[in-house]
Amino acid sequence: MYFELKRQGHGRKARGQIRLRPTYQMGYAALSEKQEANKDDALWFPKAAMKVFQETIFPAAALMVMALVVVPKAVFAQTDEIQVYDAEIEEQGKFNLMVHSNFTPIGRTTPDFPGGIIPNNSVNGAAEWAYGVTDWFEQGLYLPVYTAYSDGRGGSINGFKIRELFVRPHAHDHTFFYGVNFELSVNYKYWEPKRITSEVRPIVGLHLHPVDIIFNPIVDTNYTGGFGNLEFVPATRIAYNVNDKWAVAFEEYADLGPLRNFRKLDDQFHEVWAVMDHSSKFLNIETGVGVGVTSGADKLTLKLMLSRDLN
């Protein structure tokens, strides 16, 4: 399973391996004083927003799923994190711990490379430590990245990651928000075929209260093959914030292949997710169910993210 913790209010939120923070407290009646002051920088949805969401966004998502279901094979590596980043970071001077776990009850029965971890029945995750350096920069460390169980190997430590996240300050207060995340991974050879890999994750999104739309056009690299060999692995989230504690979302994760030559559609990876978020003063939770819609993807994956401030 996959677990990730989030903060209530404007602190650190679950970002979707894949982080989308619900933007709440908007209601459906009059604007608050703060919202009135920022009304030029916000789009206001009335009660009809839920109906619009149901009649437009959900059908569009359904059509996307139907279109992808017919796609056959692709190959997608194991991952410790399944989330969409939403440009929310920890408050300055605060430490946060987020525990990621994902379980693949129905997955690929062969490893992606010789000696690699078998996805089927595996439980993978990471402990993500974060510190708010400024209101626009968060320093992160994934330690350890681990597999609690995999067929033929049992449990293992898979490596660690260092992360630098730069964002628009107080992203939750703005209609349009953005950021970029940089990660450097040090891997054991059974987790990735290359010892050193990296990710660059741009973040763009809109808070259209109560709907959030977020896109992460991610590129991965193993430092071989130059710029054209960067792997394009975008992640998307569309969420509806029920109130200041609950949100539901549709997420989609893809691997289109190297920038120099995208794979044919029938060779790409696509996975769709139904996700739920819950925020509280004690613990923040994001959980979801993902279904692979290509033959190269795992058929069923569960994620759970749990997080909490430490000071």
The model's confidence at residue 246, banded by pLDDT at 50, 70 and 90, is very high
Predicted pLDDT at 30: 40
The model's confidence at residue 54, banded by pLDDT at 50, 70 and 90, is low
The model's confidence at residue 29, banded by pLDDT at 50, 70 and 90, is very low
CATH code of 4-26+48-309, in short, is 2.40.160.40
pLDDT digits (tens, 9 = 90+) for 65-121: 443 333 333 345 568 899 999 999 999 999 999 999 999 999 989 998 999 999 999
Checking if the pLDDT of 251 tops 90, the result is yes
Question: Is the Cα torsion angle 203, 204, 209, 211 positive or negative in sign?
Answer: negative
Q: Greatest CA separation found in the chain?
A: 60
Angle made by CA atoms 218, 144, 15, in degrees to the nearest 5: 35
Question: Of the candidates 183, 187, 228, 216, which has an alpha carbon nearest to the alpha carbon of residue 78?
Answer: 187
Report residue 67 CA to chain centroid gap.
22
Tell me the CA distances in angstroms from 248 to 183, 274, 300, one per residue in order: 28, 8, 19
Checking if the pLDDT of 216 tops 90, the result is yes
Predicted pLDDT at 65: 41
- DSSP code, position 191: T
Which single residue is written with the structure tokens 């690699």?
116
**Alpha-carbon torsion angle 102, 104, 108, 112, nearest 10:** 20
For 268, list phi and psi in degrees, rounded to 5.
-80, 160
Domain assignments of the chain as residue spans, ordered by start: 4-26+48-309
Predicted pLDDT at 92: 97
